[in-house]
Amino acid sequence: YEVYVFAANIPQKLVGNTTNLTFLVSNLQNGITYFFRIKAITRSGASSDFSQTVQARPSIVLAEDYDLYDSSL
């Protein structure tokens, strides 16, 4: 699969390829709505039409990072 992303004022771009059913896109900014769609690519290189578009909006997740925890405090 080819994974594409775009947002308001951000043109569509290919962010990666995968053979898995999941794909991690990093370096997204919190509070911006991103749109994603994929194309299936055959072994011979033929591609499908774009999938339906889905959207996601990353946000800050508050959690305790135990690796950074200083127990001497």
Residue 27 has pLDDT above 60, yes or no: yes
Spell out the SS3 assignment of the chain: CEEEEEECCEEEEEEEECCCCCCCCCCCCCCCCEEEEEECECCCCCECCCCCCEEECCCCCCCCCHHHCCCCC
Tens digits of residue pLDDT in 1-26: 999 999 999 999 999 999 999 999 98
